[in-house]
Structure 1
Amino acid sequence: MKKLILSLIVAAFVLPVQANEGMWFLMHIERLNYRDMQKMGLQLTPEEIYSVNQSSLKDAIVQFNRGCTAEMISDSGLVLTNHHCGYGQIAELSTAENDYLTNGFWAANNSEELKPKSLSVRFFVRMDDVSKRILALVNDNMTEADREATINKEIAKIEAENNEGGKFTVSVKSFFQGNEFYYFVYQDYNDVRLVGTPPASIGKFGGDTDNWEWPRHTGDFSLFRVYADKDGNPAEYSESNVPLKPKQHLTTSLKGFEENDFAMILGYPGRTNRWMPAGGIAQNVEYAYPAWVEASKTSMDVMKTFMDKDQQVKLDYASSYAGIANYWKNRQGMIDALKQHKTAESKRKDEKAFQKWASKKGNEKYADVIPVINNYYAKTNEISRHNNYLSLLIRTRMATLPYRLGNSIAYYLEQNEAKQAELKPKLDSDINDLYEGLYAPAEKAILAAQFKLYSTKAENPAPMVAAAAVENNKTDTGWNTYMDAAFKNSIFESKEKLEAFLANPDVEVLNNDPLFQLSNDLLTRYRYKSDEEKQMADNFEHAYRLLVQGMRLQNPDEKYYPDANSTLRLTYGKVISLPADKRNDATKNYYTTLKGTVAKYQPGDAEFDMPKQLIDLYEKKDFGQYADKDGYLPVNFLTDNDITGGNSGSPVLNGKGELIGLAFDGNIEAMAGDVIFDDQLQRTINVDIRYVLFLIDKYAGASHIIDELTLAK
């Protein structure tokens, strides 16, 4: 990992928000941001970005499969997102014979588009502020449990009032640590089909080595299509469904851009913790994240040994491995960045200033906030380490599968024949789903490695695991032998063994099953909190809410944005360079070129191999209309937008609202960005839309897709 560059870091809640900082609600753009955006180059009105009564940009932005962002780019339901966002579905649709993940896929027409089992997009309809309504029902004298119950009861009413008889999904969410509440209305479409994807050697070019790094040369995109019934309403998959006619789709720009041009991003950022206290940052750096990193690497190393031996196993586990690898590097980068920038120390200075403010007359309700928060973190450091080791353990499929299926089977066996007949189809479906793509030898080896790590490193592990650790002397050999026996003697070892058990079930056999017992033990431990922990958590939640409330009162003239929580936000900034880097052949270090991509080519290397056809196009300089005015073919570029996980696939738009790129990553120098914004180093790494179109047209020969688009030349 490269050395991090030093820069001055300031807490977002103390000093004025920088022009490019913030993940803003669309309904507040006119009041909070519009003037700044105009000065930077925005040419749209606020109503053209967000309107309830007419189509606007927000109607072209969708949440993709609940974890990424995507955008409508044609009037026939065409959806653009990242390759890594569609990775799981592409892998699912692939087989060893038809390996779309490795070789790519391009549907020649609608009939060739492929439907994955489960994939949805979510359109944002509207939002509104219900803070006064909800907060009028609670007070500071309530226990946290009573407060939560009161709020949840009112949330249920608000959601029922706005779902129009089930037509919409309504979600009420808390912001500023429970000091504000907004409801969001969505419409979900579940018939979404794969249209096209480049091969992994383009879509994932650079692999784990280049992940979170710049300069970057990745064609991280994929294409899907949303289908609806003949009236444009959501409908489950049917051959009679037709491509959706969206309310709005983006115009795609071929005009390019220059450094310092305006750039805005709309998307669904997943989670930030910009208000996190110093104690929480220190806990993550010293206890939680190191455990996560170690446990992630443990799973990755074992998984890879099996993926390298069998192509079908590689496809079945590709998405899981990619997800773990991404967060493994992310967490290690955050450890390094937060240490390098001394972020916890910076926050402590702010908290000291807050404590001084809280001691003044009239602010007494905030006087105990910092001591309560610090006490909580001091007493939960080891718990956080334990929970991260355990969290990675139960992410392995066979750690939870026996619990999920075993308890369903136990309930099924308690019922009469009529009820069993009613439950059986769902039980069979769950069994098929949970065992699909599961490779028992890999699962057994991963579990053995994770059990050894957890029992060795975590304080107070699950009782059965602790006992097994003593029995097996905490060695690899001991744990492998233990897991061999557990799998051999378990009805959950395979789908076939479980189905054989259900043909002649015995409750005693189920209750004594070694994997069922282990799985129950893990989940019970994962959910366990002592009475002291529960009380500390309640005290902490109350104090944290008051901390955020007090800090906003302490500096009432500042503009504040809430932490990300998978709701639609807008961030704005500009196209901007990092300092010159000799690894980048570009004239300025805000973009990369196909020349630089080919320079990284390593034949046969899993991360840096590339298709010969792409090299041929480069050597012929056959870039078509997608070359920059200076003659090179652009690949990736940088902006200083404020994004995080969940923004993957978000559109990068110019001042006219035209699509110029696709966000897919951040830079490792600013890995602390989820906790604190670095105005000097924070960068978003984007795929240039011209590279996307070049690959669709010149590389894949799918010009019919280009014909669907609305192009600005």
Structure 2
Amino acid sequence: MKKIVLLFVSCMVSLTSMADEGMWFLMHLKRLNEADMQKKGLKLTAEEIYSINNSSLKDAIVQFNGGCTAEIVSGQGLVMTNHHCGYDAIAELSTPEHDYLTNGFWAKSLSEELKPRSLSVRFFVRMDDVTKRILDLVNDNMPEKERQKIIQQEIAKIERENSENGKYIVNVKSFYSGNEYYYFVYQDYEDVRLVGTPPNSIGKFGGDTDNWEWPRHTGDFSVFRVYADKDGNPASYSVDNVPLKPKYHLPISIKGFKEGDFSMILGYPGRTNRWMPAAGIDQNVHYAYPAWVEASKVGMDAMKKHMDKDQAVNINYASQYSRIANYWKNRQGMIDALSQHKTAATKRKQEKKFQKWANKKANKDKYGEVINTISSYYTATNEKARHDNYLTGTLRSATFAALPYSLGNPLQQYAEANEAKRKELLPRFEAALADTYEKLYLPLEIDVLTDELNLYGAKAGNIAPYIQQLAQQNNGKFDGLVKEAFAKSIFGSKEKLEAFLTNPSANVVSEDPLFKISEALMDKYRERSPDLEQLEGNFQAAYRKYIAGFLEMNPKTKYYPDANSTLRLTYGTIRALPKDPRNDAKINNYTTLQGTIAKYKPNDPEFNIPKKLIDLYEKKDYGRYADKNGYMPVNFLSDQDITGGNSGSPVLNGNGELIGLAFDGNIEAMAGDVIFDPKLQRTISVDIRYVLFVIDKFAEAKNIINELTIVE
């Protein structure tokens, strides 16, 4: 094991040694990447990118609200990220009277900036390797459950030791499926306010039709500001808070770039599965993802028919709908790409080589049964994967699939409490109910839950027993049943729940029709049998050994760890795709405002364009942001290795200057989370010149422009 650990420490690089593949740890850049990056055009040192003792690029990169990336672009805490990353906050702040999603918003002073209820950014402070400390406490002969218990206990100690009495958030993360461990130190700022957003017709131009597609013409950006107390420390929202003075902010280049230029991206990629075995790919393609896609589409269709009829409903559900739609198209793209590129067959070839090595006398005792154990696990869980994706699709789309259960248990405790305790708890419950029900539209919720239960009952297989019972009693249909349940349920409105709080009864909750449906779904979601736990334990041990064995088998190959929402750097070049007749650009690595106008469809929800943008185009009034060849650039392509979570990541040139915001990948390379395709894989970004053009010329928000450090 020590030999393997040493190998990991020295060789955390790419799975295939392709130049632009890899999501690199910043602490290893000096040793692993600096020379190669400088050869390709980087003008900085590794120390200027990642330093613990001095300000560096990493101090300008933040995780945005737990799921995206953003960057600090001014000395007053100004933050840029994608429009779709800020979508939740923008939707929350919008009303029919002040519809910022549709019309955009631009604060012309600090006092006009808007505070969403909950929005935070996370700064990365440092990281370190604790592999030896953790793995010295366990061995391969331990039952998996015991092993994990020991590891979790040690992780808790490490996190306490490095938090400095709560000043920092510390996360210990597993890499290579438990063969390595690193801890990451963060600082969170929770007072983040909206500064500016373009209207949907710019920030979401192309909608679901263009999502994951190229050529793109989307102004996918939004602007926020981080606030701190007067000493620069994290603080809850207060009118006394002041804009954060960051350790570092990114300069912005409007000089442009060309095919082959070096570029790099820093961000928080969410999840890749580059080690996924062939049987796992087959499970996703044939069982899990088709169920995900179908359940998502059912929920989307039920939501959309109500959203199209009422602008208030459209605003309130826009963010939820957008999230579901994004992954609906992503998962269908994954099915298509994994099938078309025969990714499972490629993995089987790798596994065949591993099996041959594993069955050598010196390796057989440890690795001989690894592939068989992995394959057996997937065979045993294929149908469960189908069921679970229909179920989670229901939980994602239908608010009332989980809400009655999450509210019900606290309400039962409230009902059983004495009068004094109830009096203490009542204000919290009233506030929680007001917040929960404020933007819910019950006719939509009834239809979504009905349609999802109809699908779940018909397609999922081994469904929750109570749901099966209801299906049998109602000829497999839930239409009238769900509507009746809402009518009778205390969860059917905020007013009914408020009435319950004045006269509570635990029995009323336990017998409530919506609670019983929700409880059945959530119990099924959490269902764990001893046989399944044993099966999963065997799989985890085998998967960990497979990765360790694969590395041992290939000691001269360089490796990098799968993405898991930790800060990484990926680098490559500005790189075109083959010429596309749909793109007016001379080289198919960028798009122009002319191409945006060509897609214009008046009053179309996806391809409408504000009149002012058209006027600016017709006058060619691009200010200082036009390309040297006269056109207004919009989006561009590069070949870095990114995935979900990189949305909003800064694309930087060799000088470390901001040239764009990454926002998407291309559908041709949708298998990228499982296998990197050096020919097809691209990052789609919004050109920073288009961002500044929209802020300056379209929004006339020169106060924002004046804060920035712009390099011409």
In the superposition, the TM-score normalised over structure 2's length comes to 0.97
What code does the residue aligned with 2:371 have?
A: I
Equivalence for 1:7 = none
For residue 492 of structure 1, give the secondary structure of its aligned residue in structure 2.
Answer: helix
Distance, in Å, in 2 between the alignment partners of 1:103 and 1:458 is 41
Equivalence for 2:445 = 443
For residue 305 of structure 1, give the secondary structure of its aligned residue in structure 2.
Answer: helix
Equivalence for 1:429 = 431
Equivalence for 1:417 = 419
Instruction: Compute the displacement of 1:145 (Å).
Output: 1.1
Instruction: Compute the displacement of 1:425 (Å).
Output: 3.3
Distance, in Å, in 2 between the alignment partners of 1:412 and 1:151 is 37
Equivalence for 1:260 = 260
Equivalence for 2:393 = 392
- Equivalent pair of 2:651/2:659 in contact (CA under 8 Å): yes
Superposition map of 1:48-447 within 5 A: 48-364=48-364, 365-395=366-396, 396-447=398-449
Deviations 1:329-363 (A, max 9, x none): 00000000000000001101100100000011221
Equivalence for 1:555 = 554
Distance, in Å, in 2 between the alignment partners of 1:404 and 1:427 is 13
Equivalence for 2:471 = 469
Distance, in Å, in 1 between the alignment partners of 2:14 and 2:551 is 9
Unaligned runs of 5+ in 1: 1-11
Q: Which moved more, 1:256-265 or 1:551-560?
A: 551-560
Distance, in Å, in 2 between the alignment partners of 1:425 and 1:182 is 42
CA 1:490–1:459: 2 relative to 1, 3 Å: same
Equivalence for 1:34 = 34
**Is 2:679 the counterpart of 1:677?**
no
Deviations 1:352-398 (A, max 9, x none): 10000001122120111000000000010000000000001122211
Equivalence for 1:602 = 601
Equivalence for 2:3 = none
Equivalence for 1:565 = 564
CA 1:435–1:233: 2 relative to 1, 3 Å: same
- Equivalent pair of 2:574/2:589 in contact (CA under 8 Å): yes
Superposition map of 1:433-582 within 5 A: 433-475=435-477, 479-582=478-581
Q: CA RMSD in A?
A: 1.1
- Residue identity over aligned pairs, in percent, reads 68
Distance, in Å, in 2 between the alignment partners of 1:432 and 1:161 is 40
Distance, in Å, in 2 between the alignment partners of 1:462 and 1:206 is 39
- Equivalent pair of 2:13/2:32 in contact (CA under 8 Å): no
Distance, in Å, in 1 between the alignment partners of 2:157 and 2:333 is 43
- Equivalent pair of 1:408/1:427 in contact (CA under 8 Å): no
Distance, in Å, in 2 between the alignment partners of 1:579 and 1:57 is 33
What code does the residue aligned with 1:334 have?
A: M
Instruction: Compute the displacement of 1:13 (Å).
Output: 9.8
For residue 663 of structure 2, give the secondary structure of its aligned residue in structure 1.
Answer: strand
Instruction: Compute the displacement of 1:529 (Å).
Output: 2.4
Count of matched residue pairs? 699
What code does the residue aligned with 2:82 have?
A: N
Equivalence for 1:4 = none
Instruction: Compute the displacement of 1:144 (Å).
Output: 1.2
What code does the residue aligned with 2:368 have?
A: A
Distance, in Å, in 1 between the alignment partners of 2:99 and 2:435 is 21
- Equivalent pair of 1:84/1:204 in contact (CA under 8 Å): yes
For residue 259 of structure 1, give the secondary structure of its aligned residue in structure 2.
Answer: coil
- Equivalent pair of 1:13/1:275 in contact (CA under 8 Å): no
Distance, in Å, in 2 between the alignment partners of 1:530 and 1:591 is 53
- Equivalent pair of 2:96/2:311 in contact (CA under 8 Å): yes
Instruction: Compute the displacement of 1:413 (Å).
Output: 2.1
Distance, in Å, in 2 between the alignment partners of 1:252 and 1:352 is 49
- Equivalent pair of 1:401/1:434 in contact (CA under 8 Å): no
Instruction: Compute the displacement of 1:324 (Å).
Output: 0.3
For residue 173 of structure 2, give the secondary structure of its aligned residue in structure 1.
Answer: strand
- Equivalent pair of 1:122/1:186 in contact (CA under 8 Å): yes
Instruction: Compute the displacement of 1:247 (Å).
Output: 0.3
- Equivalent pair of 2:212/2:666 in contact (CA under 8 Å): yes
- Equivalent pair of 1:79/1:225 in contact (CA under 8 Å): yes
Distance, in Å, in 2 between the alignment partners of 1:467 and 1:490 is 19
Deviations 1:253-312 (A, max 9, x none): 011001000010000000100001110000000000000000000000010000001111
Distance, in Å, in 1 between the alignment partners of 2:286 and 2:376 is 16
- Equivalent pair of 2:412/2:505 in contact (CA under 8 Å): no
Distance, in Å, in 2 between the alignment partners of 1:485 and 1:132 is 59
Q: Which moved more, 1:32-41 or 1:260-269?
A: 32-41
For residue 518 of structure 2, give the secondary structure of its aligned residue in structure 1.
Answer: helix
What code does the residue aligned with 2:511 have?
A: N
Unaligned runs of 5+ in 2: 1-11
For residue 85 of structure 1, give the secondary structure of its aligned residue in structure 2.
Answer: coil
Deviations 1:653-688 (A, max 9, x none): 000000000000000000000000000000000000
Instruction: Compute the displacement of 1:415 (Å).
Output: 2.2
Equivalence for 2:4 = none
What code does the residue aligned with 2:315 have?
A: L
What code does the residue aligned with 2:451 have?
A: A
Distance, in Å, in 2 between the alignment partners of 1:75 and 1:572 is 26
Distance, in Å, in 1 between the alignment partners of 2:44 and 2:423 is 59
Instruction: Compute the displacement of 1:472 (Å).
Output: 1.9
Distance, in Å, in 1 between the alignment partners of 2:308 and 2:228 is 40
